Structure 1
Amino acid sequence: MKLYGIKNCDTVKKARKWLDEQGIDYEFHDFKKDGLQSELLFRWEQAVGWETLLNRRGTTWRKLPEDVRDTIDAQSAYEIMLENPSIIKRPVVENGGDVRVGFSADEWSAWLA
């Protein structure tokens, strides 16, 4: 299992704590420290869609110019996420061939049971 996110993100902290408490081994990849490869982002987009990956609630989204936010599409979202990984909803988790975005203890309990 590989967990992607930003070390200081509260949701990532909750997810990591939950995984540790469950005794589930995982590898952590920090976007800010380790970067984000285009192939990885492409794979996630294919698995869950760009609309799921794009965090429209965060400050990175709100800092984008209004005209960019109003005209966002798959291509521009991909470019923005690649340039600003902090705009990706977190955490992103790969387990086998499965990709999940966000954290919910109940959903993860069922998913990883």
Structure 2
Amino acid sequence: MKFICYSKCTTCQKAKKWLDDRGISYELRDIKENNPSESELREWYNNSGLPIKRFFNTSGLLYKSMELKNKLPNMTDDEQIKLLASDGMLVKRPILVDGGNVLVGFKEKEYEELFK
């Protein structure tokens, strides 16, 4: 299982604590140091069943400064995946990848459901 996060992100810290408190082991990966590749993002997107927009960190400074709210609707999924792969700070986090299961962001209910 991979846990992709940004150490300064409070949501990531909450998710990490949730996993640690339950003794769930994972491979920790810092999204800023080791940005997801296009192929990883494509695989996670396909496995997640989520719209591609859910993979964007819409509250991030980079997202806002690039005015992506207006640009994304005119981009293909492939173009959006390439954009996400260009900078880890564009990617919503944390991302938890456990085989074919992919959780984006941290919602305690989703984590509980995955680890029943």
**Normalising by the residue count of structure 2, what TM-score does the alignment of the two structures yield?**
0.84
* SS of equivalent residue, structure 1 residue 34: coil
**CA apart distance, 1:79:** 1.9
- How many residue pairs match? The answer is 113
1:27-80 CA distances to partner (integer Å, 9 max, x unpaired)?
A: 111121123222211111212341221222322211114663563331331121
Runs of 4+ in 1 over 4 A off after TM superposition: none
Cross-structure match for 1:110 = 113
Give the one of 61, 64, 78 matched to 1:62: 64
Aligned to 1:50: 52
Query: Which structure features the higher share of helix residues?
Result: 1
Between 57-66 and 87-96, the greater mean CA deviation after superposition: 57-66
Could you say which residue in structure 1 is the equivalent of 2:15?
Answer: 15
Report the AA paired with residue 45 of structure 1: Y
Matched-pair identity in %? 27
Q: Give structure 2 stretches of 5+ with no counterpart.
A: none
Map of 1:30 onto structure 2: 30
Q: Please state how far the C-alpha of 1:11 moved relative to its aligned partner.
A: 0.9
Quick check: 1:6–1:32 contact (8 Å CA) kept in 2?
A: yes
Partner of 2:95: 92
**TM-score for both structures, normalised by structure 1:** 0.86
Asked if the contact 1:54/1:77 (under 8 Å) is kept, the reply is no
Unpaired runs of 5+ residues, structure 1, are: none
Shift of 1:25: 0.7
Note if contact 2:35-2:85 (Cα within 8 Å) is conserved in structure 1: no
> How far apart are 1:110 and its partner, in Å?
2.1
How big is the shift at 1:14? 0.7
